[in-house]
A and B are shown apart, each in its own frame.
Chain A
Amino acid sequence: NAGVTQTPKFRVLKTGQSMTLLCAQDMNHEYMYWYRQDPGMGLRLIHYSVGEGTTAKGEVPDGYNVSRLKKQNFLLGLESAAPSQTSVYFCASSYQGANQPQHFGDGTRLSIL
């Protein structure tokens, strides 16, 4: 039981390049989330999904797109990377229903030059 797995763990991009971050969970969770964390700050919610085929915007969605084609996977895309998107990205998942705790992956460290 791996929990929440994020791929890749590290990546360096040039401005304008595109890439996709993958989040996979094996806990059969309905809900999945993408956060970013910048130095000295707490996590901020980018997008989330309450089920396969559904996504919604969080606090800081601009510049990102997401897809949830399969229940176990939640993809975060950067179409044209910008230096302001240099951050650590965390994925999380939880069961459906009120007050279910979120389980987090170990993050993807993304640098955009």
Chain B
Amino acid sequence: DAKTTQPPSMDCAEGRAANLPCNHSTISGNEYVYWYRQIHSQGPQYIIHGLKNNETNEMASLIITEDRKSSTLILPHATLRDTAVYYCIVRVRGATNKLIFGTGTLLAVQP
């Protein structure tokens, strides 16, 4: 199972784009990259996932490098409510959709 590496914390000014990096150099060709976030005291919330193409939804964009060894989650206009721990996860192979969580990145959006 591919392991991910994320910075422990980041700051971002309110209204600016937040760019959260993730390294997954041992990812296999058919493993997806998932992003979840956890706002204090709540359950994790799914944000986005992708395989090799860039993805965008109403919450964020996911940019995956061509070699798939790293990715970046982009929150285009961060708000105070985006302050949370963001987890980059490479999904475990198999049909059970198990997730292996690391310690994530604490994003602090500053007013």
Chain A positions near chain B (C-beta within 8 angstroms): 4, 31, 33, 35, 40-45, 48, 50, 56, 58-59, 90, 92, 94, 96-107
- Nearest B residue to A103 by beta-carbon distance? B46
The interface bits of chain B over 79-111 (1 if a CB of A lies within 8 angstroms of the residue's CB, else 0) are 000000001000100011111111110000000
The answer on a CB contact under 8 Å between A90 and B49 is: no
> Which residue from A35, A41, A44, A50 sits with its C-beta under 8 Å from B95?
A50
Q: A42-B101, A43-B99 are in contact. List 20 more A-B contacts (CB 8 A).
A: A33-B98, A35-B101, A40-B103, A42-B87, A50-B96, A58-B98, A90-B44, A97-B97, A98-B95, A100-B97, A101-B46, A101-B49, A103-B46, A104-B43, A104-B45, A105-B43, A106-B42, A106-B43, A107-B41, A107-B43
Q: Which residues on the B side are within 8 Å of A98 (C-beta)?
A: 95, 97
Closest to B30 in A: A98
Nearest-neighbour CB distance to chain B for A108, whole angstroms, equals 10
B34 x A101 contact (CB < 8 A): yes
- Closest B residue to A97 by beta carbon equals B95
State the main secondary structure of chain B at its contact with A: loop
Interface residue ranges, B against A (CB under 8 Å): 32, 34, 41-46, 49, 87, 91, 95-104
| Bound-state Cα–Cα, A45 to B96, Å | 12
Specify which chain A residues have a CB less than 8 angstroms from the CB of B96 in the assembled complex: 31, 48, 50, 56
Contact of A102 (CB < 8 Å), options: B41, B42, B97, B100: B97
How far is B101's CA from A35's CA once the two chains are assembled, in angstroms?
Answer: 10
A31 lies within 8 A of B43 (CB): no
Residues of B within 8 A of A97 (CB): 95, 97
- Write the nearest CB–CB distance from A17 to chain B, whole angstroms: 25
